[in-house]
């Protein structure tokens, strides 16, 4: 399985931007880069995904390196409600597990008021 | 429905009993996934379906675990002869399209299973 590497934890101040990095040096050409987050006591929540180009939605932006070996999830203005574990996951065709999401440990984001 | 619905929310069972956990995906969602999550850990893949076909069951821990989705909608995860180590949050997710990677998953609230 293609794997990702994320920092265990990060801190941010409220209303400041947050850049959450992810390394995925073994990414294959058909793998999409997904980000999910999990708030305390809740199920994982889809944030954003992309293939090659940078992506924006109402929740966040995803910046993908030109060689696709790394990406960064950008929260433009962190709020206290953004405190969660953020998972960077690769998903695509491989073997019999097409599109499956394999979760790692993620990055625990703390937001200070 | 509006979201992925799982039932029951909580289940306490005695060791050795069988349990059945239900997942009702978003209407029209083709793919359905089961995960297990221990406290403080990320979700662990168990199995998934496209329509009624079980595509991958490599994550099921042993033959006491099975899943079905007979009509391509509601799915049931069954654990036979439960053991204390089966205690965890069991999560279901669904997605609109057959797996290519270009989609998002919607997760349910989960079933908290406690085996005593």
In A, which residues are within 8 Å of B102 by CB distance?
32, 49, 51
* Mean per-residue pLDDT, A78-94: 88
What is the distance between the alpha carbons of residues B114 and A11, in angstroms, rounded to a whole number? Answer: 33
Three-state DSSP state, A66: coil
> Which DSSP state fits B94?
E
- Please name which of B67, B57, B59 lies closest in space to residue B25, comparing C-alpha atoms: B67
Of residues A30, A31, A104, nearest to B42 (C-beta):
A104
What is the distance between the alpha carbons of residues B15 and B80, in angstroms, rounded to a whole number? Answer: 10
Sign of CA dihedral B95, A76, A39, A33: positive
**pLDDT higher for B100 or A72?**
A72
Q: Which residue of A has its CA nearest to B48?
A: A100
pLDDT value at residue B83: 98
What are the CB-based long-range contacts (under 8 Å, 24+) for A51-58?
A: A51/B102
- The CA radius of gyration of chain B, in Å to the nearest whole number, is 13
Phi–psi pair at A3, nearest 5 degrees: -115, 160
The answer to whether the CB of A34 falls within 8 A of the CB of A89 is yes
What is the distance between the alpha carbons of residues B24 and A99, in angstroms, rounded to a whole number? Answer: 20
**pLDDT higher for B92 or B39?**
B92
What is the distance between the alpha carbons of residues A42 and B38, in angstroms, rounded to a whole number? Answer: 13
Three-state DSSP state, A16: coil
Three-state DSSP state, B47: strand
Of residues B42, B98, B101, nearest to A91 (C-beta):
B101
Q: Could you tell me the CA-to-CA distances from A72 to A17, A22, A60, B13, B106 in Å, in that order?
A: 12, 6, 10, 43, 22
What is the distance between the alpha carbons of residues A80 and A57, in angstroms, rounded to a whole number? Answer: 19
Asked whether the beta carbons of residue B42 and residue A34 sit closer than 8 angstroms, the reply is: no
pLDDT value at residue A45: 95
For chain A, strand residue ranges (E) read 9-13, 18-23, 32-38, 45-50, 55-56, 61-64, 70-75, 84-91, 107-112
Q: What is the pLDDT of residues B43-94, one digit of tens each?
A: 999 999 999 999 889 999 999 999 999 999 999 999 999 999 999 999 999 9
- Please name which of A45, A49, A26 lies closest in space to residue A83, comparing C-alpha atoms: A45
Q: Which residue of B has its CA nearest to A94?
A: B100
- pLDDT tier for residue B99 given thresholds of 50, 70 and 90: low
């Amino acid at each position: 399985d293609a794997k990702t590497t994320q920092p265990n934890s990060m801190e941010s101040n409220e209303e400041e931007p947050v850049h959450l990095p992810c390394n995925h040096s073994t990414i294959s050409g058909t793998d999409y880069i997904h980000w999910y987050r999990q708030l305390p006591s809740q199920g994982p929540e889809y944030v954003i995904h992309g293939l090659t180009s940078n992506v924006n939605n109402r929740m966040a932006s995803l910046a993908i390196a030109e060689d696709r070996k790394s990406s960064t999830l950008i929260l433009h203005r962190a709020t206290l409600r953004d405190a969660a574990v953020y998972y960077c996951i690769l998903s695509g065709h491989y073997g019999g597990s097409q599109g499956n999401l394999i979760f790692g440990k993620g990055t625990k984001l703390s937001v200070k008021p | 429905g509006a979201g992925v619905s799982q039932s029951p929310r909580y289940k306490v069972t005695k060791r050795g009993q069988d349990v059945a956990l239900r997942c009702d995906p978003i209407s029209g969602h083709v793919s359905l996934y089961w995960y297990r999550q221990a406290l403080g850990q990320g979700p662990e893949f168990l199995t998934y379906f496209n329509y009624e076909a079980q595509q991958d069951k490599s994550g099921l821990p042993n033959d006491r675990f099975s899943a079905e989705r007979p009509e391509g909608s509601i799915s049931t995860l069954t654990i036979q002869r439960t053991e204390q180590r089966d205690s965890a949050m069991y999560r279901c997710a669904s997605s609109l399209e057959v797996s290519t990677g270009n989609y998002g998953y919607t997760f349910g609230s989960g079933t908290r299973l406690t085996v005593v």
